[in-house]
């Protein structure tokens, strides 16, 4: 089945440690996104990429980094500079860019990151 | 900055009733809106979308209404079922440039359906 796969489902980070969250899609979508969701709140955009080898900061990019070396993959690294990393992280993809940008984003089932 | 918000954080209905979830948006230039359903521990699931050149769009048991005059969006669910219990988010896409494809999400409404 086509879709978005996030792994792992649960992740624990120690102080001073970088961790990487995986996001893979087989929908042949150009655009991919990372969001952070805190309890009882909506989604906030961390980074997004509209094409391979290009990405832009979202609203809360500090303490995070990404890469987009392949169309189907958009990993997110939570660095030690992110002082409050405990959250639910969601990856999404969409077909849209340019005049076709207004297409729905499709989400994975998230990774829950906690601090040890 | 501009944002999307919801009037009611929680909504409880009886099975079989119709549900209406409301959303206010503040960016009058937004041209695309989406409703998502999120169940506990899962990612948001697309329900229905609407573009700003439309006032109404219907799907299976769902209808989205857009009132651009008062910048209001609503999601109507007909014959609500227990499986509809979830958090519902509206999202808007402001137009132009690097904003293409970016969505701004509201805080969500918790819908609880009682059997």
pLDDT in tens, A50-93: 889 999 999 899 999 999 999 999 999 999 989 899 999 999 99
Asked if A60 reaches chain B (Cβ–Cβ under 8 Å), the answer is no
Report whether pLDDT(B4) > 80.
no
Among A28, A26, A5, CA closest to A103: A28
Report whether pLDDT(A113) > 70.
yes
Among candidates A6, A48, A102 on the partner chain, residue whose Cβ is nearest the Cβ of B93: A102
CA terminus-to-terminus distance, chain B: 41
Record: contact A94-B101, CB cut-off 8 A: yes
Mean predicted confidence (pLDDT) in A17-27: 96
Model pLDDT, residue B7: 45
- Matching residue, tokens 């695309």: B32
Mean pLDDT, chain A, rounded, equals 91
Q: Output phi, psi for A37, to 5 deg.
A: -125, 125
Per-residue pLDDT of B28-83, as tens digits, reads 888 889 999 999 999 999 999 999 999 999 999 999 999 999 999 999 999 999 99
Mean pLDDT, chain B, rounded, equals 88
More confident residue, B98 or A17: A17
Q: How many CB atoms lie within 10 A of CB B32?
A: 20
Query: In angstroms, what CA-CA distances link A116 with A13, A35, A77, B18?
Result: 6, 22, 17, 44
Model pLDDT, residue B1: 34
- How many Å apart are CA A52 and CA A76, to the nearest integer? 15
More confident residue, A88 or B2: A88
Record: contact A41-B100, CB cut-off 8 A: no
Residue A112 pLDDT grade (very low, low, confident, very high; cuts 50, 70, 90) = very high
Number of separate helices (H) and strands (E) present in chain A: 0, 11
């Amino acid at each position: 089945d086509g879709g978005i796969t996030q792994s792992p489902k649960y992740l624990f980070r120690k102080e001073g440690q970088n961790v990487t969250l995986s996001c893979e899609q087989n929908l042949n979508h150009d655009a991919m996104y990372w969001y952070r969701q805190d309890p009882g709140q909506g989604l906030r955009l961390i980074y997004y990429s509209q094409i391979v080898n290009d990405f832009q900061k979202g609203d809360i990019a500090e303490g995070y980094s990404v890469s987009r070396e392949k169309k189907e993959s958009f990993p997110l690294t939570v660095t030690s500079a992110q002082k409050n990393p405990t959250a639910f992280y969601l990856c999404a993809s969409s077909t849209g860019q340019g005049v076709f940008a207004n297409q729905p984003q499709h989400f994975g089932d998230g990774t829950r990151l906690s601090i040890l | 900055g501009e944002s999307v918000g919801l009037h009611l954080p929680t909504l409880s209905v009886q099975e079989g009733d119709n549900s209406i979830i409301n959303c206010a948006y503040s960016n009058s230039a937004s041209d695309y809106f989406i409703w998502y359903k999120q169940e506990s521990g899962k990612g948001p699931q697309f329900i229905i979308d609407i573009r700003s050149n439309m006032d109404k769009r219907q799907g299976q048991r769902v209808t989205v209404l857009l009132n651009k005059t008062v910048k209001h969006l609503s999601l109507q669910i007909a014959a609500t079922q227990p499986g509809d219990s979830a958090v519902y988010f509206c999202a808007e896409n402001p137009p132009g440039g690097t904003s293409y494809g970016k969505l701004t999400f509201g805080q969500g409404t918790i819908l609880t359906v009682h059997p």
